[in-house]
């Protein structure tokens, strides 16, 4: 088989890249180890930056997003018995976030790719990459060989793409955190109109949503926590204890329909290119979910990669391909810092560290009382504009 771009992974990064290339007249084949049902059903991120919404809109895959997505113009920081709203409409006018589940983005992209005649192979085991340091890379799977001009590794942190790069060719930056997130999806109307980030000395909690009848909630738990230790009653009791900390506010409870524990890590692999293999999304970088940046970084990566590849086909020049990694990493490191900052600001690290807790409380007071500090949080949360971080000229 032959295509122009072989894409490993049918998550939002791989599918969006395939569609952006299609819009530029460039063929691609997507290989995915899981089934389509798995890809469409896996509940992950749900907060889209303004720039991500713009990318999806320009790509023609955002009609349902605009109908069903929940546009938010602020978030609440809750601590010390009070709620403090970070008002995006005042601090960063014209920019907002949209709550719309990653699985919904994936469904929209599948529909667009199949409507355009896109080629996606599901349940493909034993994928191997070959000759990635030459002008003629290829991918083998199920006894077949796919020849291509470029390979895009969009297959996540545990995928084959990054592992195919020779040892020593990448520099790894990594940090792990001494806690995890227990996340639940509950069939219950949200108790709030905007996301609540709650800091307590007993641990962090987050109240989010996935629609008018579905709530998404998170608890900080020990890194070795097991779901068996957290029956429904205990989950709701702990959520109420951490969220019901302001007068006259009550958490609505109901059936939990999905749950999982997510480890917290920060990770960056540099550079995001080896020969004709280009990494994008979680294959190249991971952020703790506190800053809601994972899906948004993946979309920014493939936006840049589609531009670089189309430039090569149009001109024969390697200029943008050579600049891809450095251009992406500017935005990635800004998001890394913001995610680390939000994580260290809102989580309990050591129950015996009274000094550290006082520092956290001091900075929370500063963020919620200073226009400059609140603007910094708001600008990073809705996403730094692409003209500042996210162009080849920036």
Residue 69, both tokens? 């997505």
Catalytic pick among 218, 274, 324, 381: 381
Sequence-ordered list of residues with C-beta below 8 angstroms from that of 111, at least 6 positions apart, any chain: 61
CB 84 within 8 A of CB 373: no
Catalytic pick among 19, 22, 293, 347: 293
CB 251 within 8 A of CB 243: yes
Catalytic pick among 197, 199, 218, 274: 197
CB 295 within 8 A of CB 247: no
Q: How far is CA 284 from CA 165, 268, 292, in A?
A: 12, 6, 17
Q: In the chain, helix, strand, coil percent, each to 5?
A: 40, 25, 35
Is the dihedral angle over the CA atoms 345, 348, 350, 355 positive or is it negative?
Answer: positive
Catalytic status, residue 197: yes
Q: Which residue has the tokens 């590794």?
A: 153
Q: Where are the beta strands (DSSP E) in 88-237?
A: 97-99, 119-121, 128-130, 138-141, 144-147, 150-153, 171-186, 196-198, 205-211, 214-221
Catalytic status, residue 212: no
CB 301 within 8 A of CB 280: yes
Catalytic pick among 72, 73, 285, 347: 72
Sequence-ordered list of residues with C-beta below 8 angstroms from that of 317, at least 6 positions apart, any chain: 311
Separation CA 216–CA 107 (nearest Å) = 19
Question: CA 213 from chain center: how many Å?
Answer: 23
Element (H, E) at 48: strand 47-48
Residue 218, both tokens? 């998170």
Catalytic pick among 12, 190, 288, 289: 289
What dihedral angle (degrees, nearest 10) is formed by the CA atoms of 105, 27, 285, 210? 0
Question: CA 207 from chain center: how many Å?
Answer: 17
DSSP string covering 198-248 = E--TT--EEEEEEETTEEEEEEEE-TT--GGG--HHHHHHHHHHHH--STT
CB 118 within 8 A of CB 257: no
Catalytic status, residue 207: no
Catalytic status, residue 293: yes
Catalytic status, residue 177: no
Active site residues: 72, 197, 289, 293, 381
């Amino acid at each position: 088989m032959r295509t122009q771009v072989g894409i490993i992974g049918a998550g939002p990064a791989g599918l969006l890249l395939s569609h952006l290339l299609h819009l530029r007249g460039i063929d691609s084949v997507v290989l995915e180890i899981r089934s389509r049902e798995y890809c469409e059903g896996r509940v992950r991120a749900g907060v889209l930056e303004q720039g991500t919404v713009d990318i999806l809109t320009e790509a023609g895959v955002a009609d349902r997003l605009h109908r069903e997505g929940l546009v938010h113009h602020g978030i609440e920081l809750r601590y010390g018995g009070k709620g403090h709203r970070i008002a995006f409409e005042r601090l960063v006018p014209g920019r907002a976030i949209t709550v719309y589940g990653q699985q919904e983005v994936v469904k929209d992209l599948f529909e667009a790719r199949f409507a355009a005649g896109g080629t996606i192979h599901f349940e493909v085991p034993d994928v191997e990459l070959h000759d990635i340091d030459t002008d003629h890379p290829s991918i083998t799977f199920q006894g077949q060989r796919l020849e291509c001009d470029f390979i895009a590794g969009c297959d996540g942190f545990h995928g084959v793409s990054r592992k195919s790069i020779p040892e020593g060719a990448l520099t790894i930056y990594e940090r792990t955190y001494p806690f995890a997130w227990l996340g639940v999806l509950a069939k219950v109307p949200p108790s709030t109109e905007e996301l609540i980030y709650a800091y307590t000395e007993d641990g962090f909690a987050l109240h989010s949503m996935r629609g008018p009848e579905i709530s998404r909630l998170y608890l900080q738990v020990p890194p070795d926590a097991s779901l068996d230790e957290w029956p429904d009653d205990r989950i709701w009791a702990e959520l109420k204890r951490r969220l019901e900390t302001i007068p006259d506010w009550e958490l609505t409870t109901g059936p939990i329909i999905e749950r999982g524990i997510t480890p917290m890590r920060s990770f960056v692999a540099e550079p995001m290119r080896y020969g004709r293999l280009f990494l994008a999304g979680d294959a190249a970088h991971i952020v703790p979910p506190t800053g809601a940046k994972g899906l948004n970084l993946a979309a920014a990566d493939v936006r840049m990669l589609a531009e670089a590849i189309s430039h090569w086909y149009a001109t024969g020049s390697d200029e943008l391909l050579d600049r891809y990694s450095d251009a992406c990493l500017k935005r990635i490191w800004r998001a890394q810092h913001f995610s680390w900052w939000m994580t260290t600001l809102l989580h309990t690290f050591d129950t015996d560290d009274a000094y550290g807790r006082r520092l956290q409380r001091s900075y929370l007071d500063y963020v919620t009382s200073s226009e400059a500090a609140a603007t910094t949080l708001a600008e990073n949360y809705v996403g730094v504009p692409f003209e500042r971080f996210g162009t080849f000229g920036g």
